[in-house]
Structure 1
Amino acid sequence: MTKKLLILLVFLGSFSMQSQNLVWKTNMTDAIALSNEQKKPMLILFTTADAPNNLQNEIFRTPDFAVWSRDNVILVKLDLSDVNVSDTDKEQNMKLKDAFGVNDFPQVCYASASIRKNKTTFSALGKISYKPGGAKSWISESNSILHPSE
């Protein structure tokens, strides 16, 4: 009986880990504040409604990515096709897309930012797109962007 209960708990635990949702910030001001507070760079996902889902399905929905992202970055999702975003935020998101040189979707940019005298300054750390190879490979490449000296 104890063995069956233990097996059930392990099964349910692994299922809940697979189904956990990531917390994506959609407001850049909130993301910058959290990034500075936690001293973590931002992972900014630039996407649109018609962008391929490979990055989402094969990387972001894995337990490896969930653990890695929780420990290493602040997740920011900027959907450039979202009709519910205010005109001011749309304009800001398009300027960020241009500033980071994003041409293809989806694309991830790593950055940190500081705000001084109501002026935001971004420091781009690098970009990465979807590449076949799974989450571990993608995380390894991301780590080389975030920690180039290691």
Structure 2
Amino acid sequence: MIKKILLLILFLGSLTFQAQNIVWKTTMEAAITASNEENKPMLIFFTSSSAPTNLQNEVFKTPDFAVWSRDNVILVKLDLSDINASDADKEQNVKLKNAFGVQDLPEVCFANASIRKSKTTFQALGKIGYKPGGAKAWISESDAILHPSE
């Protein structure tokens, strides 16, 4: 009985630990490099300090999202209100927000990118905002964007 309880605690603890170990890239250069090396699309999270936190709290901070994101995407967080970002990064992030047609924050865009002759080309796959229903519903909708033929 004690072994079963210890195994349960260990299992639940590892899930919580995974949820807290999500690593977000904050520059597009690093994200594009990782995306191409790992052959995974980018999940670009556009946000700001004044944006609602429902998406982060109900989806991004869950064990389900941690496992799913590790296996399916490269996480990129572009905080449009980040005072520590360089002027060039701020300008780039606003241009990307406009190029992807992001209207309301927070919003997630899925994309692939390639760099040829110092020029970056993005292939938008789709976008999604906050939807009530929790992580599993959000992940299901995201999978439909990333794998439309399945």
TM-score (norm 2): 0.95
How many residues are paired up? 148
The secondary structure found in structure 1 opposite 2:43 is strand
Partner of 1:11: 9
Displacement, 1:5? 4.2
Which TM-score applies when normalising by structure 1? 0.95
Distance 1:89 1:9 in 2: 45
- Mark the runs of 5 or more structure 2 residues left unpaired by the alignment: none
- Structure 1 residue runs without a partner (length 5+): none
Give SS of 1:90's match: helix
Counterpart in the other structure of 2:134: 134
CA contact (8 A) 1:18 1:61 kept: no
Q: CA deviation at 1:15?
A: 2.7
Identity of aligned residues (%): 71
- The residue identity in structure 1 corresponding to 2:126 is G
Aligned to 2:110: 110
The equivalences for 1:67-146 within 5 A come to: 67-146=67-146
Structure 2 distance, partners of 1:102, 1:116, is 25
Distance between the aligned counterparts of 1:37 and 1:82, measured in 2?
Answer: 27
Within 1, Cα distance between the matches of 2:73 and 2:133?
21
CA contact (8 A) 1:80 1:94 kept: yes
Aligned partners of 1:84, 1:96: CA distance in 2, in Å? 18
Q: Which residue is 1:41 aligned to? A: 41
**In the TM superposition, what whole-angstrom CA distance separates every residue of 1:26-79 from its partner, at most 9, and x where no partner exists?**
010010000000000000000000111100111011111111100000000000
DSSP 3-state at the match of 1:136: helix
Q: Secondary structure at the match of 2:69?
A: helix
CA distance in 1 between partners of 2:73 and 2:61 (Å): 16
User: CA shift at 1:11, angstroms?
Assistant: 1.2
Kindly report the root-mean-square deviation, in angstroms, between the aligned alpha carbons of the 2 structures: 1.1
What displacement does 1:4 show? 1.7
